[in-house]
A and B are shown apart, each in its own frame.
Chain A
């Protein structure tokens, strides 16, 4: 007699019920929605809800409902056209303080949502969107940090009245040359006592007694991780400015950042904004020296040669009055002549410094330098390498008429588009180190939909073929296996939904493969039962022996497949991971449904009979 104890049957029933429950949300569709979340100033609260509702009513746009979720407001619409119209309306109504983005809101009914049941996430290849892998230029980050140490050292040596000849910043070190060995030795002891993040080594640079200052291993690591973290923050800010619903910005490895922007259409704009390194510097113009002399190689010690947009050279002071990091707000506007301008608001520290310098320099000219760093791919000795160039351009020279402080305007930009992009970049903050896009995968919305349809179809068709095949070959046992197979699919979907994993096209392929492999367990069992029957064992004993003997084989076979799947997951970049995840889940659930699930049903059908005729 083959009976499962009551608890085992109940356990199986419970797992099936829970599985169906958590798989259910996937059957409900999505509503096109507009998502409003807090920007720089705004807060998402009930006041915003009524403001949004009023704006929509004023334009007589009908919406399904507006609901507050955590820190965002979702307004649902009946169709995509209304959604697009509403986005424009809201953009005009509450512009500036809020981020407005298109999104899809799942229509999971309340009785499911209460228990945390949600549909699974669709990957970018299914819903459309962009995936970027960005690499942070760590050499540049280190160089930046060395530059700031160099200027600190200048101040320190000056304060300590130690005469130095020169301070030179190299790729991984700062070299300081002194007038005498005594000066060098006292500088060495002062620097090493004040900076434990610097490594100091004395040497002779030609005949000049010098020291090489390097970052320690620990400081190098810190610099790198700080640059990475800061870049992630900046990228998040910039993406918010672009208005993307549910973006992902994540660290990958030691120097890379993954950015995923679902549903974005204009990738050119996204690339330009995300990778942009543009920032501003304000410098005083050196009008005491002649530009021509400088062009001939006689650049004054405290000045540096720059170029204007039209190519004319100009001499500017080496000292920077103000950098972009003190800018807390920037907006594109038009100046009194109607040409593009950016109005700028400084933070307290920046405003104080700026007002002091401008007060002392009323009547003198000041220049605004627009700095962009470009990376180019060049072939050097047969190898493709990236070359980075800093391109500083003087966009504007103006005489300081008044003491400037917190708010002012800069002009001299080419177009309103340039003004808008610059304002956006200044608002979102500069990157701590330049980044490069090293990988891009964009899937258009039409291909995304095709992928969903084709993926779904191929799973269904393959599935139906297997069902028919199994039913013909193993009759009642085949039908039981089919039942298990169907629940296997339900359980995979339920697991993916519960863990909020992301389903990708390769993930669907993984499910297809699992369907094929799940059958294998049943084939093994059923063939064993047939064998046992052939050698004359009783039906009940055959069923029992079939399951017992096949078990270790099934376990071995699945463990080895699991090894391959786990390796895939570990190796995983994006899409491959999706395949590995569904394969791993599929192996786990198929072990359960194909062995315990079918056994329970077979027991229910044949278990109570004394000598049943097995339909196998």
Chain B
């Protein structure tokens, strides 16, 4: 079976202005949301305490909130997690005798008010200092990944391609972050890992397209740059879609069956794959075209192998 019968001939680049405008709007929304309401950082970055407990009975969140409030945990955020039996409790960094023991105190408080045993599914505590460091390191990691990729693509292709791929990456990362900010989804360490994976994935797509653009430039003698890029995009379209679909299949399976803990990670990946596929077609190639890449830029410089020629061009 074939996804696309015979050869397609979509005029992708004919709609490049519309695509650019569309992406621009998305990015503006993303940045606006990031600036106004930032990200809903998890305790990995802000520091604090998080406890997931499982009750045997159905839970009454208000009652749990009251119990905690009376014990002096006024700032506790209490919500169900995955099911009505599971409760997630979050505490910010607060004044205390010993921050690291807060989780035990919370569990002891809840257990004292409850007859059947409560199962502690997980307890996490991150000191404010550690959170700050993670935020800093996370930003640096993203920067390093981008720089490393920029260098590699410049070496393998040409600087315009490198810029094109990085523009596409920044586009993907910004939009993914924007969605997390807009819907205030929790941004924790696993989401950061997902974003770095998206950088890798989106690039994968972009590189395949660029490879084809270069090849087509060298092979096809006639035609404008726009036509050539269109040809290359159509040639790789079936592959681009196939790969995105198969990768999406596994990531969706991760989302559906991987458990609550990995949800945010899976959401970030799904977003990244969709946006990454779109950007490798419309954004990366668009940027390269906009910077005016032409056939002449891609023909390898012929090396002079004649060793008998002196530097000044004279021959002995």
Tell me the number of A-to-B contacts counted with CB atoms below 8 Å: 243
Is A523 an interface residue, CB under 8 A from the partner? yes
A455 to B144, CA, bound (A): 30
Q: Which of B108, B125, B211, B250 contacts A463 (CB 8 A)?
A: B250
Is B32 an interface residue, CB under 8 A from the partner? no
Q: Which of A271, A377, A527 contacts B242 (CB 8 A)?
A: A527
A507 to chain B, nearest CB (A): 11
A287 to chain B, nearest CB (A): 35
Q: Is the CB of A560 within 8 A of B243?
A: no
Q: Is the CB of B104 within 8 A of A268?
A: yes
A94 to B13, CA, bound (A): 79
Is B109 an interface residue, CB under 8 A from the partner? no
Interface of B is mostly: helix
A519 to B244, CA, bound (A): 10
A316 to chain B, nearest CB (A): 27
Is B141 an interface residue, CB under 8 A from the partner? yes
A465 to B119, CA, bound (A): 35
| Known contacts A439-B125, A442-B123, A527-B242; is-contact A561 B200 (Cβ 8 Å) | yes
Q: Is the CB of A553 within 8 A of B253?
A: no
Is B61 an interface residue, CB under 8 A from the partner? no
Q: Is the CB of A534 within 8 A of B7?
A: yes
> What is A's interface to B at a CB cutoff of 8 Å?
125, 133, 135, 267-268, 271-272, 275, 374-379, 384, 436-444, 446-447, 450-451, 454-455, 457-458, 461-463, 465-466, 469-470, 472-473, 505-506, 508-509, 512-513, 515-517, 519-520, 523-524, 527, 530-531, 534, 552-553, 556-568, 570-571, 573, 575-576, 579-580, 583
Q: What mask results when residues 251 to 262 of chain B are scored 1 for a CB within 8 Å of chain A, else 0?
A: 111101111011
Is B311 an interface residue, CB under 8 A from the partner? no
B203 to chain A, nearest CB (A): 5
Residues of B near A559 (CB, < 8 A) are 152
Is B114 an interface residue, CB under 8 A from the partner? no
Q: Is the CB of B250 within 8 A of A271?
A: no
A543 to B135, CA, bound (A): 48
Q: Which residue of B lies closest to A272 (CB)?
A: B101
Q: Is the CB of B246 within 8 A of A523?
A: yes
A553 to B254, CA, bound (A): 28
Q: Is the CB of B204 within 8 A of A438?
A: no
| Known contacts A438-B130, A442-B124; is-contact A567 B204 (Cβ 8 Å) | no
Residues of B near A553 (CB, < 8 A) are 207-208, 211-212
Is B269 an interface residue, CB under 8 A from the partner? yes
A436 to B130, CA, bound (A): 12
Q: Is the CB of A520 within 8 A of B104?
A: no
A144 to B133, CA, bound (A): 28
Q: Is the CB of A438 within 8 A of B239?
A: no
Q: Is the CB of A462 within 8 A of B1?
A: no
B95 to chain A, nearest CB (A): 6
A244 to B246, CA, bound (A): 43
Q: Is the CB of A440 within 8 A of B125?
A: yes
Is B298 an interface residue, CB under 8 A from the partner? no
Residues of B near A275 (CB, < 8 A) are 100
Q: Is the CB of A268 within 8 A of B101?
A: yes
A91 to chain B, nearest CB (A): 24
Residues of A near B174 (CB, < 8 A) are none
B3 to chain A, nearest CB (A): 7
A554 to chain B, nearest CB (A): 9
Closest 10 CB pairs of A and B: A462-B253, A516-B247, A462-B250, A564-B200, A438-B127, A437-B100, A571-B141, A454-B259, A561-B200, A440-B125
